[in-house]
Chains A and B, each alone.
Chain A
Amino acid sequence: MKKIDLTCVVCPFGCLMQIELDDNDKIISVTGNTCKRGETYAENEITDPRRNICSTVRIEGSKVHNVVPVKTSSEIPKDKIFECMKEINKVVAKVPVKIGDVLISNVLGTKVDIVATNNVLD
């Protein structure tokens, strides 16, 4: 049996959780969380850790903006973060871009999109 400490990153409270794992890294118990999402986070963090990432994409045709901010539409596998950044750095958007516009769909086959998080209209 193994015990590990995990800080939940689901919300700004950041509960410090104690996780008990068996020899096959399966969760026996989670304590220290103040809501249910903590348990889910712990489960995911042990088996398939994922993160949202935010960056910017080059934009062309705007008088004021060089870049438009973007985010992943949902979490991507943690080990794909830098690969995903490479994809984000490759793509070029053109004005107008609106919040929610998909700039890369299904990035790296993760079923996650890269979407704009600001309006750049001119």
Chain B
Amino acid sequence: MLAIIGAGPAGLAAALEAHKEGIKDIVIFERAKEPGGILLQCIHTGFGLHYFNEEISGPEYAARFSEAIKDTDIKLICDTMVTSISKDLEIIAMNKKDGLMKFKADAIILAMGCRERPRGALNIYGTRPSGIMTAGAAQEYINIKGYMPGKKCVILGSGDIGLIMARRMTLEGAKVEAVCELLPFSGGLKRNIVQCLDDYGIPLRLSTTVVCVHGKERLEGVTIAKVDDKLQPIPDTEEYIECDTLLLSVGLIPENELSQLAGIKIDPVTKGPVVSDTRETSISGIFACGNVLQVHDLVDFVTLESQVAGKAAAEFIKNRNLKNEFAKVVPGERVRYIVPQKVSLPVTEELTFYFRVTNEFDNMIVSLSVNDKEIYSKKKRKLAPGEMENLKIKTELFENLTSDDVIEIKVKEK
């Protein structure tokens, strides 16, 4: 049995791919009542441009995969929580209908997605009223439940979810006073700044953060302040904004509690499992894809990554070919992380490396080297941490690669 944990875009694509590769016994465990994952609440369009060559909304993107699943013998068990997985591929799950269940899988694909960073982890002082929530929670209230979470709103964090929610709140009749961003640049897509903020006259306040919240019961306002280059609030730049809602869009964290329980090695930067090019984790037979592995900006790339994992898991079940020779992949100058973190040997297919840079850069060269010898380079007009980059490397460039070799990707000046 191939067990897939999560029926979001990653789990669905991985399942379909493994099915295509001839695996019949596939079970997807999903904690929500229906498949689709977080896409179901992302009702804006902008999905599918790369994969489907058209722009569709989140629910539509999800439906294309969940409808396809219906035509297969893939089993989808919803409203079910996987409570543990082990390194010998045992899964414990439970739900109301079947109670507590134990399975032994031949391979597992982790596709649990990610969650939003909460306020607690931030150093905001002040009271603890209601009206402070993650942008994703607000998105669920408006788009799924159909209730307004507030009327006058400040958003902290200019990642895509923050920007999208600024527009959603505005369209549904709320006033968005400002979107504050701690960094000197937005982590969101440029077009979202234009069509979510500029179109509605919502100010984007860069290098600004919320330092204090006010209000005893419901939020009454926030104090914002400019920050210096060490991201510390600058005295005397404080400003009070009256609002009843503070939406936090302060980062996403891959959800790896289950992975850690099984003893899977986690990359401290991506906060996802360390994987090879087949998306196999440090435990043989357990694969990972989608936001549980690395936080993506575009679902299209989640789909592609999950297909890689689905195919590899199928291969693992069919042939039990255990690849155990790897070449290391390390981030070089101006590169924050790279996925995959290792390449299985020998290289037999074109490889795609996904990476993020450390800062905003213009007119640079992305360079891939093996043992400090550049084997590939590419000009890049614009690089930003908010946009995941990829490098496709042809098989022949990695001929004769051995486990002593170190692959490095860096960004250098022209």
Chain A residues at the B interface, C-beta cutoff of 8 Å: 7-14, 16, 51-56, 58, 64-67, 69, 71, 78, 81, 85, 99, 117-119
Starting from the known contacts A16-B190, A55-B171, A71-B45, 11 additional A-B residue pairs (CB-CB under 8 Å) come to: A14-B194, A54-B44, A54-B57, A55-B172, A65-B144, A65-B146, A69-B43, A78-B199, A85-B172, A118-B59, A118-B63
Query: B191, A117: Cβ atoms under 8 Å?
Result: no
Give complex CA distance A16, B191 in Å: 10
26 contacts across the A-B interface (CB closer than 8 A): A7-B190, A7-B191, A9-B191, A12-B46, A13-B190, A14-B190, A14-B194, A52-B45, A53-B171, A54-B57, A55-B171, A55-B172, A56-B43, A56-B142, A56-B143, A56-B146, A58-B146, A65-B144, A66-B145, A69-B57, A69-B143, A71-B43, A99-B63, A117-B60, A118-B40, A119-B63
How many A-B residue pairs lie within 8 Å, measured between CB atoms?
76
Report how far A11 CA is from B143 CA in the complex, Å.
23
Q: How far is the CA of A78 from the CA of B201 in the complex (A)?
A: 13
> With a CB–CB cut-off of 8 A, which chain A residues contact B195?
9, 51
Q: Shortest 10 CB-CB distances between A and B: which pairs? A: A14-B190, A66-B146, A69-B43, A118-B59, A9-B191, A67-B146, A14-B191, A117-B57, A7-B194, A54-B44
| Contact indicator B57/A71 (Cβ below 8 Å) | yes
The interface residues of chain B lying within 8 Å CB-to-CB of A58 are 146
Kindly state the separation between the CA atoms of A91 and B276 in the bound complex, as whole angstroms: 51
A99 and B45 alpha carbons, distance in the complex (Å): 14
B94 within 8 A of A: no
Are A69 and B59 CB-contacts (below 8 A) given A11-B49, A12-B46, A12-B49? yes
Q: Report A-chain residues with C-beta under 8 Å of the C-beta of B191.
A: 7-12, 14
Q: How many residues of B sit at the interface, in one of the four size bands?
A: 20 to 34
Cross-chain contact B298 with A12 (CB below 8 angstroms): yes
Interface of B with A (CB < 8 Å)? 33, 40, 43-46, 49, 55-57, 59-60, 63, 142-147, 171-172, 189-191, 193-195, 199, 297-298
Question: Given that A9-B195, A51-B199, A55-B172 are known contacts, is A118 also in contact with B190, CB under 8 Å in the complex?
Answer: no
When C-beta atoms are compared, the residue in chain B nearest to A66 turns out to be B146
Flag if A14 contacts B59 (CB, 8 Å). no
Q: Which chain B residue has the least Cβ–Cβ distance from A67?
A: B146
Residues in A neighbouring B190, C-beta threshold 8 A:
7, 13-14, 16
Chain A residues near B60 (CB-CB < 8 A): 99, 117-118
Kindly state the separation between the CA atoms of A52 and B44 in the bound complex, as whole angstroms.
9
Of A71, A85, A118, chain B has the most CB atoms within 10 Å of the CB of: A118
- Residues of B near A52 (CB, < 8 A) are 45, 55
Q: Chain B residues near A51 (CB, 8 Å)?
A: 195, 199
Given A11-B49, A55-B172, A71-B57, decide whether A117 and B194 contact each other with a Cβ distance below 8 A: no
CA of A17 to CA of B189, assembled, Å:
15
Q: Can you name the residue of chain B whose Cβ is closest to the Cβ of A98?
A: B63
Which residue on A lies nearest to B164, using beta carbons?
A: A54
**A86 CB → nearest B CB, Å:** 10
Nearest CB in chain B: distance from A85 CB, A: 6
- A51-B199, A53-B171, A71-B57 are contacts. A14–B189 as well, Cβ < 8 Å? yes
Neighbour of A12 across the interface among B63, B144, B189, CB < 8 A: B189
User: Quick one: closest A residue to B61, CB to CB?
Assistant: A117
A16 to B55, CA, bound (A): 20
Chain B residues with CB under 8 A of A118: 40, 43, 57, 59-60, 63
Count chain B CB atoms within 10 A of each CB in A66, A67, A117 and give the residue with the most.
A117
Q: Kindly list chain A residues whose C-beta atoms are within 8 Å of the C-beta of B171.
A: 53, 55, 81, 85
Measured CB to CB, the closest approach of chain A to B69, in angstroms, equals 14
A73 → B minimal CB distance (Å): 11
Q: A10 to B57, alpha carbons, bound, how many Å?
A: 15
Q: Which residues of A contact B194 (CB under 8 A)?
A: 7, 9, 14
Q: Identify the interface centre among A9, A10, A53, A78: most chain B CB within 10 Å of its CB.
A: A9
User: B49 and A67: CB pair below 8 A?
Assistant: no
Across the interface, A67 reaches (CB within 8 A) one of B57, B143, B298, namely B143
Query: How close is A17's CB to chain B, nearest CB, in angstroms?
Result: 11
Residues from chain B with Cβ under 8 Å of A10 in the complex: 191
Expressed in whole angstroms, the Cα–Cα distance for A12 and B195 within the complex equals 12
Which B residues lie within 8 Å of A7 (CB)? 190-191, 193-194
Q: Which residues of A contact B172 (CB under 8 A)?
A: 55, 85
In the complex, which residues of chain B have a beta carbon less than 8 angstroms from the beta carbon of A66? 145-147
Q: What are the residues of chain B within 8 A of A67 when measuring CB–CB?
A: 143-144, 146
Tell me the minimal C-beta distance from A83 to chain B in angstroms. Answer: 12
Tell me, in angstroms, the Cα distance from A118 to B205 when the chains sit together. Answer: 35
Assembled-state Cα–Cα distance A13/B50 (Å): 11
Give complex CA distance A9, B46 in Å: 10
Residues of A with C-beta under 8 A to B145:
66
Residues of chain B contacted by A54 (CB below 8 angstroms): 43-45, 57
With both beta carbons as reference points, the residue of chain A lying nearest to B160 in the complex is identified as: A12
